[in-house]
Amino acid sequence: MPERKESLEQLVLTRVMRLNATIHGLVFGLVAGLALFIATNWLILKGGPIGPEGEPIIGPNLWLLSQFFYGYSVTFVGSLIGFAYAFAVGFVAGFLIAQIYNWIVDFREYRARRSA
């Protein structure tokens, strides 16, 4: 009986350690997208100093994302475009992190079973 209990505990521990890559990707994507959306709209509402052309200078550092995200700008429409890009990048990053983590868990489990 104690041997069966240990194997059940090992099974539960192994199953708990795995991550759902799709859910992980969705969460990372939503967090990244919302962060960029909120940061962009916060800067729009806050405003900025008036530049030499008479227009406000809003978020010059955040504007640099337009070098990577085609169509992004520090405007409301740009925040929606940025949300989509950040969601996609966050999804891929979260999915890959969970997938790599699961591969490592599988590899360690395989080594543990092989050595036992």
pLDDT over 70 percentage in the chain: 86
Predicted confidence at residue 80, as pLDDT, reads 96
The rounded distance, in Å, linking the Cα atoms of 67 and 37 is: 17
Stronger pLDDT, 100 or 105, i.e. the higher one: 100
Whether residue 12 is predicted with pLDDT greater than 80 in this model: the reply is: no
Domain ranges across the chain: 20-48+58-111
Least confident of 5-9, 73-77, 92-96: 5-9
Which amino acid appears at position 71 of this protein?
G
- Which tokens hold the place of 62? 């955040």
pTM passes above 0.75? yes
pLDDT computed for residue 97 by the predictor = 96
Separation CA 7–CA 11 (nearest Å): 6
- Spatial contact of 105 and 17, defined as CB atoms under 8 Å apart: yes
